[in-house]
Structure 1
Amino acid sequence: MGEVATSGSVESQLETYRPELTGYCYRMLGSVFEAEDAVQDTFVRAWRGFDRFEGRATLRSWLYRIATNVCLTMLTSAQRRVLPMDLGPAGSGHATEPGEPRPDEIWVGPAPDSRVLPENSDPADVVTARESVRLAFVAALQYLPPRQRAVLILREVLAWPAQEVAELLDTSVASVNSALQRARATLAAANTTTDMHKPLDDEQQALLARYVQAFEEYDLDALTTLLHEDVTMSMPPLPLWLRGPDDIRAWMAGTGIGCRGSRLVPVVANGMPAFGQYRPGLTGSGHDPWSLIVLELSAGRIAAITHFLDTARVFPLFGLPARLG
């Protein structure tokens, strides 16, 4: 194969796998920035070793083997990534201090669908892929030991046969099946189920329209009616998180009152609806970036609201403007 492959043709072949490999590494690592670094490292290793690739496995399997090894190496020294809910009990909506920001490397981060989900015409595969990059699911994956995490993603998300996974991980089919059983039990305890539709159905579209209107008008009465009774709100990198409509309303009416007058720009993150939030500019004109809001929906209500406040890194990732004039 090395005799006929030029540098350009090798790079072209590798690039076709970039979205799905980025999605795989994102599930493994919990950060799209680290996932993209892992994929780039994978491509460098593959390019250097392409003349030794003899086709005993498919190119896709070979790339996944390299990517898995890259991720497992990165995870040997990495701290487990979390969401604020993993750090302690819910806080009070009347709190005046949300706590000191924690380092970026401890948080599960958001991901644009375009970076982590390959184009696929099969609606069933699309729904499965979107489900498997939700924030709650990716956060739950981080509880699994790295090799167990790889087994679950390869078997359950990507539907690889057990024999192929065993070959990729240099282990036995029995070990793969045992790891999968333990991983399933861990995720079942996490209970990460929410509503998944593509496209969003009419009821969900109407719910989002009401959310945008209520948020931009800062109508807290209307906003509260849209929230699930067990709704959570978190604001990485701040450790504070809230549970329930009453505490979220209290926060927005108190410490969070600076969000009044915000404008929302729709995007899609982690298979779910999301918005770039811009607060009124400090100069008195325009709107400045404040957070990326990722929503999760359940039973016709909003079940989770995550505000990612690191707009300097996150907004360019989603193609959001630096400010609204």
Structure 2
Amino acid sequence: MEGTPAQTGTHRAEPDTDLTSARAGDADAFARLVAPYDRELLLHCYRMLGSTADAADARQETLLRAWQGLDRFDGRHLRAWLYRIASNRCLTMIDRRGRRELPMTLAAGDAEVSWLEPLPGSWLGSTPEEQAIDRETVRLAFVAALQTLPAAQRAVLLLRDVLAFRAAEVAGILDLSVPAVTSLLQRARAAVADGLPAPSSTSDDAGLDALAERYTRAWEAGDVDQIVALLAEDVRYAMPPEPRWYLGSASVAAFLRDGPLQARWRFLRTEANGQLAFATYMFDAQHGDFRPAGLDVLSVADGSVREVVSFLDADFAAFGLPTTLPA
């Protein structure tokens, strides 16, 4: 993961007045104290856990524990202290709940599966710089690859390569030695690099817009040939929570002809995990309108769709999407 865009500003001087007031029980002062780190803590928990619901719980628990333990904070390096609480909370949750899966990473014979969840675009930063960093480090392929790592390797990789903590700081956060941090980081980098497909290409906005428009028109017209023309030969297509997935454009085409394209569709473009995504709506004859069917997250490279993950149970409300579309 060398070369991954990293957060900067590991150290930050904390306002003495807010810290003093927060220790005296001023909740507003505490909120001001932690506000600069709130969003990045939430994304860190998502990368660790692969679930927006679990990430929100972990972030909330982190802030609660920080508030309750503020008298034990030495007043230095608040960011590192918060990440110590958040990382350890995530490690505990991973130990209890296991890892999140996509069908492509699912081990044969797994009976009980917790599925990876897509990330709404509203979770990303508000500035162009923050958004660029966030998009690169919440890509679906990266988060899925993280879930295959042992929990300690996952934490070390994120703290070092994404959040730019020094090795000694990571050792302090996770109660490890510096040599242990170095060893875990080397193994994590090798494992993640081996498991990642080509990154999504979003540099050509006009090209991506054109592809998105063609993809939408093809689906809404039920034109399998036009859909397949936009897919890479080695495209992967999955639909969690369904464990089955398809590899190759011919296999995907056969599946689409026999299944989804028997229905009528409407697509709304959106964003998930910093990638091109579509809210998909299938016509419901009983109600005479289009109802949510899934959130399709696309990985695009070299002008072709390399992967489609259709989250059939996605929470449309979390993405600010309508629950029905008129016929």
* TM-score class normalised by the smaller sequence: 0.7 to 0.9
User: Aligned with 2:21: secondary structure?
Assistant: coil
1:54 aligns with 2:102: no
Cα distance, 1:320 vs structure 2: 1.0
1:181 aligns with 2:181: no
Which residue pairs with 1:251 in the alignment?
255
Distance change (3 Å), C-alpha of 1:126 and 1:173: farther
Which residue pairs with 2:270 in the alignment?
267
Which residue pairs with 2:155 in the alignment?
150
Which residue pairs with 2:21 in the alignment?
4
8 A contact 2:201–2:302 mirrored in 1: no
Paired residue for 1:228, among 232, 240, 251? 232
Q: Distance in 2 between matches of 1:24 and 1:11?
A: 19
Cα distance, 1:203 vs structure 2: 1.4
Which residue pairs with 1:119 in the alignment?
126
8 A contact 1:127–1:196 mirrored in 2: no
1:25 aligns with 2:45: yes
Q: TM-score, normalised by structure 2?
A: 0.87
Q: Distance in 2 between matches of 1:82 and 1:192?
A: 16
Cα distance, 1:323 vs structure 2: 1.0
8 A contact 2:222–2:261 mirrored in 1: no
Cα distance, 1:261 vs structure 2: 2.1
User: Aligned with 1:54: secondary structure?
Assistant: coil
Which residue pairs with 1:239 in the alignment?
243
Counting matched residue pairs gives 305
Percent pairwise identity: 43
Which residue pairs with 2:197 in the alignment?
192
Which residue pairs with 1:316 in the alignment?
317
- Which runs of structure 1 show a deviation greater than 6 angstroms over 4 or more consecutive aligned residues? none
Which residue pairs with 2:97 in the alignment?
78
Alignment gaps of 5+ in structure 1: 90-101
Which residue pairs with 2:10 in the alignment?
none
Paired residue for 1:207, among 189, 207, 211? 211
Paired residue for 1:219, among 193, 217, 223? 223
Q: For 1:277-296, what aligned pairs fall within 5 Å after superposition?
A: 277-283=280-286, 285-296=288-299
User: Aligned with 1:155: secondary structure?
Assistant: helix
Q: TM-score, normalised by structure 1?
A: 0.88
8 A contact 2:284–2:290 mirrored in 1: yes
Cα distance, 1:119 vs structure 2: 3.2
Alignment gaps of 5+ in structure 2: 1-15
Q: Distance in 2 between matches of 1:188 and 1:232?
A: 19
Q: Distance in 2 between matches of 1:196 and 1:162?
A: 31
8 A contact 1:3–1:51 mirrored in 2: no
8 A contact 1:129–1:157 mirrored in 2: no
**RMSD over aligned Cα atoms:** 2.0
| More moved, 279-288 vs 236-245 | 279-288
8 A contact 1:11–1:47 mirrored in 2: no
8 A contact 1:234–1:307 mirrored in 2: yes
